[in-house]
Amino acid sequence: SVKRVLAVTRRASLAVFGVGALDALNGALPSQVYEGGHLTARDQAVLRRQNVVGDVCTVLLRSDGSWRDVTLNARATGPTPAQLSRIPRRLCVAAGTGKARALLAALRARTATDLIVDDATARAVLELAEARGQAGGGSR
C-alpha cells in the first residue's frame, strides 16, 4: 500500500536515485516521467515556461534547484527534496551529458550527499556552473 511505502521512506537511512532530464539531449535516455505518457504536450510546454529542466524522484526541478511552486509537482509521487533531506545518506547516480542541466539542478536542490557520475557528465555540470559564475557551490 502507499501508506507502507511512505512509512518505509520515513525510516530509510539510504536513498538511491537517478535524475530525469526534461529534454533528452546528447543521446540521453528519455525519462519515463516525460516519455511515459504522464504529461501532455501542453504540460511539457508549461514546464519549459517554468524553467523546469528535470526531476528527482518525480519531483520537477528548475535549473536553480527550486521546486516548491512548480505547478505540476502536485502530481509528483516521490519524496520532495525537503523530504529526501531527512534521509541521512542520499546517493544520486547519473550518466550522460544530456542530463547535465538536470543534475546541476538536483545538486542545487541539495538532494544528494553522494554522487556517482561519469567524467563527461561531471565536466558538463562544471561547465554549466562556471558559465553562470556559480562553480564551487554557494549557500542557498
Query: How does pLDDT run across 21-57, given as a tens digit for each residue?
Result: 987 655 666 677 777 788 888 998 999 999 999 999 9
Please report the pLDDT score of residue 128 as a whole number.
95
Please report the pLDDT score of residue 121 as a whole number.
96
In a domain, 74, yes or no: yes
Residue position matching grid coordinates 526531476: 55
In a domain, 138, yes or no: no
C-alpha distance across the termini of the chain, in Å: 36
Rounded to whole angstroms, the Cα distance separating 50 from 20 reads 16
Q: Please tell me the total count of domains within the chain.
A: 1
CATH of the domain at 51: 3.40.50.1360
In a domain, 139, yes or no: no
pLDDT digits (tens, 9 = 90+) for 60-118: 999 999 999 999 999 998 899 999 999 999 999 999 999 999 999 999 999 999 999 99
